[in-house]
Amino acid sequence: MKYKETGMGMFVSFATIAVAVVGVEGLLRIVDYPKWDTEITAGWRSHVENEALNEFGFRGQPIQYADKDFVIVLLGDSQVEAAACPPQSTPERLLEHYLSASGAFKVFTIGTAGYGNDQEYLALQEYLARHRADMVLLWQTFSNDVWNNVFPTHMPKDGAIKPTYVLKEDKLEGPNYQLGEVVRKPARTKIGVFLNRIFNPQKGLDEYWERFLPPPYAPLVNYSGPVAPDWDPADPDNRNPFLENENLKTEKSHFAISLYPASKRTAYGLALTRKLLGNIESLSKSRGAAFFVLNVTTPVAEGVTAQPAVVTHRRDRSFYQTSFQQQRANQATVYDGFPSFSVNVTMANWRVSETDAHLNCMANDEAMQSLARNVTAFLKKDAAP
């Protein structure tokens, strides 16, 4: 008799809970709260709309080549994607055009906006698993590649989740996710959406990751002297629409690589970036491809050299000091020993717009024409007896 009573009690309890859950679910659906979530994957492909994408999801021509073609992979981020330019003015098309006078060449884009060397490395693995390359050109964007590599999400704080590596005792570990791996599947119930956000949150990832990073730059709190207001979002003269997203407290910022003196976090980012470049080079060479880092400079660098040795910037009641020489030293730390092509854009009007520092179509044309000369010179030298 006791067993029957216990069983009946448990049944009633479960039934009550089930009715309550169904009732809560029904109410949440009526008020449509919380909003249905979507599948979250690690990393991304091109988001350029109404454009032809290659088979890997990047903006570019179809990956088709003949046996006689010299195949070049143009690896990079938003610079190789060139979203502001029509397809015929993208770097891959321009480079292929200027190389055509020297033989049969094919140039393919691997990479998209927001990529760091980690996603570039994984995307290159995908490409080389299915296709060949005779040369890999890595268009390095030093101002953002370092922080892209350090953090597990894109800008702003806790942005899109991405595959990320860590450096431990000079050894590369990871990535935490593969490119395109599902991080969180969408829930089919409103209660499930709540549970997803509790047990698989997107917010807080940056803070969690920071626990394993060296300390960031420590700004000055008390300072009296000349101050540059260009980092202050409240200043009406600062028209950079993304200035508020520059997180100087964590160094998730395009400005971090010029902070003076370099912090331990910057040193870690430089070492991590150098290790990733080494892996990209090793992968390229293992598939028989020559590897070069592509450094593109603009007239901005020339103007910076005229500034004082150390510039102090005000942001959030703190003061951050920068040095162009520190930035140069950081670059040398990363690139030392890697073969490279240096391309100088000389035209004064090289930007897409006042608030967009990507190369415009004319600047891309100048850069790729110069790069084609570098590639041709290398191939002639390499072919010489």
Q: What is the pLDDT of residues 154-165, one digit of tens each?
A: 999 999 999 999
DSSP-based three-state secondary structure for 191 = helix
Backbone angles phi, psi at 359, to 5 degrees: -65, 135
Q: Which two tokens stand for residue 170?
A: 């000079």
Whole-number pLDDT of residue 30:
72
Q: How far apart are CA 385 and CA 376, in angstroms?
A: 16
Asked whether 135 and 105 are in contact (CB, 8 A), the reply is no
- pLDDT, residue 189, reads 76
**What does the pLDDT look like over 39-82, one tens digit per residue?**
789 999 998 887 889 999 999 999 999 999 999 999 999 999 99
**165-173 contact pairs (CB < 8 A, 24+):** 165/118, 165/272, 165/275, 165/276, 166/212, 166/272, 167/268, 167/271, 167/272, 167/275, 170/271, 170/275, 172/272, 172/275, 172/276, 172/279
Q: Is 359 a residue whose pLDDT tops 60?
A: yes
205-249 pLDDT, tens digit each = 999 999 999 999 999 999 999 998 899 888 888 878 889 999 999
In eight-state DSSP terms, residue 261 is S
pLDDT band at 168 (very low <50, low <70, confident <90, very high): very high
pLDDT at 308 over 80: no
Report domain extents, the chain. Answer: 37-383
Q: Please enumerate in sequence order all residues whose Cβ is within 8 A of that of 41, keeping only pairs 6 or more positions apart, or say none.
A: 161, 180, 181, 182, 183
Q: Give CATH for domain 37-383.
A: 3.40.50.1110
pLDDT of residue 194 exceeding 90, the answer is no
Rounded Cα gap, residues 164 and 213, in angstroms:
13
For residue 15, pLDDT over 60 is answered with: yes
Q: Is the model's pLDDT at 306 over the cut of 60?
A: no
Asked if residue 54 lies in contact with residue 81, where contact means CB atoms within 8 angstroms, the answer is no
